[in-house]
Amino acid sequence: MSQIFHHSTNTLARVTIFGGVFILGFVSWALAELDTSAYATRATQAREQPVPFSHAHHAGGLGLDCRYCHTTVETSGFANIPPTKTCMNCHSEIWSTSPMLEPVRASFRTNTSINWVRVHDLPDFVYFNHSIHISKGVGCETCHGRVDRMPLTWQDASLRMQWCLNCHRHPDRYVRPREDVTMMGYEPAGDQEQIGRQLVKQYHIQDARALTSCSTCHR
């Protein structure tokens, strides 16, 4: 009786059988990677803005304190985007004719908001509160990265839940003294582990069980 298949098909059969297992593993790994990738999270992607505002220049170069513009960061959950008025405080004097700043002046003239593109955008079911993080000694840099080196602002971290949990499970690895909260390029004076543990005590930072309770972030 004639062979239907060539001998090589045996090998093919074996490969497909065993291969299946590995393919499954690979796919799940790939998906997870994709989910945290810059493509999905937009992390590290500089965003086009109506005005090419440079943190590198204002925070880095001029050394403006974050709180000069983001005034409510210590009092409210929402670190406000400065009103056009704030921009005009300076820019009615300096660069007052720069075409680059025309949208700002237009906004001020016509009393219409500047339409910024949101860079850090958490899902609507996550309730992040800036003020409490600031008051517990979580540095701006810890989440936003070296903003003072961003000519155009981008999101530094993945902002995935796993990433949040890193800190909520071990705050001592990340907290810094309150006075250094807005400092860029902060270096712990000594062993972070030890300083952190001491700060956690000092600032009455809740234990991991409280910090990882669902309702801490989700309502």
Q: What is the dihedral sign for C-alpha 180, 185, 189, 190?
A: positive
Site for another protein in 17-56 (CB under 8 A): 28-29, 31-32, 34-37, 39-40, 42
Q: Give the 3-state secondary structure of residue 192.
A: helix
Axis crossing angle, helix 102-110 with helix 84-91, rounded to the nearest 10? 120
In the complex with another protein, the residue whose CB is nearer, 54 or 206, is 206
For 202, the enclosing helix (H) or strand (E) is: helix 192-202
Site for another protein in 55-114 (CB under 8 A): 72, 75-78, 80-85, 107-108, 111-114
Quick note: the x/- pattern for another protein over 160-179, rule CB under 8 A, is xxx--x--------------
Considering only the stretches 5-13, 92-100, 146-154, 192-200, report the one whose residues sit in contact with another protein under the rule CB under 8 A: 5-13
In the complex with another protein, the residue whose CB is nearer, 3 or 185, is 3
Distances (CA, A) of 79 to 71, 130, 165: 7, 6, 21
Residue 189 as a binder of another protein (CB under 8 A): the answer is no
Q: What is the chain's alpha carbon radius of gyration, rounded to the nearest angstrom?
A: 25
Residue 115 as a binder of another protein (CB under 8 A): the answer is yes
Please tell me the distance from the alpha carbon of residue 6 to that of residue 13, in angstroms, as a whole number. Answer: 12
Give the bridge partners for 43, in sequence order. 155
118 C-beta neighbours (distance < 10 Å), count: 9
- CB-CB contact of 141 with 184 (8 Å): yes
In the complex with another protein, the residue whose CB is nearer, 40 or 189, is 40
Q: Give contact residues for another protein (rule: CB under 8 A).
A: 1, 4-5, 9-10, 13, 28-29, 31-32, 34-37, 39-40, 42, 72, 75-78, 80-85, 107-108, 111-118, 121, 123-125, 127, 129, 131-132, 135-136, 158, 160-162, 165, 204, 206-207, 209-210, 213-216, 218-219
